[in-house]
Amino acid sequence: MRRSILTLLCATVATVLMVPTGVSAQEQIVEDDENDVPVFWDAETGATVEEPLSGHSRLSRIDYLDMICYKLSLDPATSVYTLWMEVSGGLPVEGDALPSGIKIVEWGLWIEDGVWNPYFNPITPYFLIALVYDGASYDACVLDCQTKEIVMSLEDEDFWHAGAELQFSFPADSIGNPESFNWMTSTRVWCGQPDTIGYRFTDMTDWDACPGDAGYDLTWPP
Ligand SMILES: [Ca+2]
């Protein structure tokens, strides 16, 4: 069941640290606007409005869907990437029921070749690395978005969550050892069955996280 679910889940600060080997480790810390879940606009005024409620939980009141900070880092000694994320409220503990109407929650990292923009550059991502919760347990994997195949299911020791923080790690070779790429993060919920398109993105890397780029992606290396 867990694998079938995963199959279907299809102010930036850059710092350079020195590790004992003398090889530079890289990380990029990104702050995200708080209380921006979900984003609905009044067509006339441009003001954000609370989502319509149609018998399900109001997404804007689920704090763990609201990213407030995240960090991507690469350990050159092991060639392992790690994504850490802090959200606005405590994450579900295993066994906690999901809010009414939601079947799966996802916290994801997208690896892309270009700056994704839904209007001007709607590219297909290369990879999605995601932590998911289905109301019973957590799981994580590396998904090839081109083939929609799972490249790697992450082991339990490769991801964790505690309070309002989560983290997952994956080897660089699982995404083809790219020297550079674009990346963004998101949260997403499935309200329909996982084999449908009944999902909604609830938070994404802010538009202005990467000044100068007309899209949502950041650039790696920072
Ligand atoms: Ca946010």
How far apart are the CA of 161 and the centre of ligand 1, in A?
A: 18
How far apart are the CA of 182 and the centre of ligand 1, in A?
A: 19
How far apart are the CA of 213 and the centre of ligand 1, in A?
A: 19
Residues 6+ apart with CB under 8 A from 146: 124, 126
Enter the tokens of residue 39. Answer: 């984003």
Domains annotated on the chain, with CATH: 2-220 (2.60.40)
Q: Angle at the Cα of 163 (from 160 to 165), degrees rounded to 5?
A: 55
What is the chain's pLDDT, residue by residue, as a tens digit (222 residues)?
A: 444 444 444 334 444 443 444 456 799 999 999 988 865 666 677 666 666 555 566 777 789 999 999 999 999 999 999 999 999 999 999 999 998 878 899 999 999 988 887 777 788 899 999 999 999 999 999 999 999 899 999 999 999 999 999 999 999 999 999 999 999 999 998 877 666 678 888 899 988 777 766 678 899 998
What pTM was computed for the model? 0.84
DSSP per residue, 38-106: S--B-TTT--B-PPP-SSS--GGG-GGG-EEEEEEEEETTTTEEEEEEEESSPPPPTTPPPPTT--EEE
How far apart are the CA of 55 and the centre of ligand 1, in A?
A: 24
d(CA 132, CA 67): 15
Enter the tokens of residue 155. Answer: 């082991």
**DSSP strand pairing (13-18 vs 165-171):** unpaired
> Token pair 């989560």 is at which residue?
166
CB-proximal residues (5 Å) to ion ligand 1: 32-33, 36, 66-67, 203
> Token pair 């202005």 is at which residue?
208
How far apart are the CA of 216 and the centre of ligand 1, in A?
A: 13
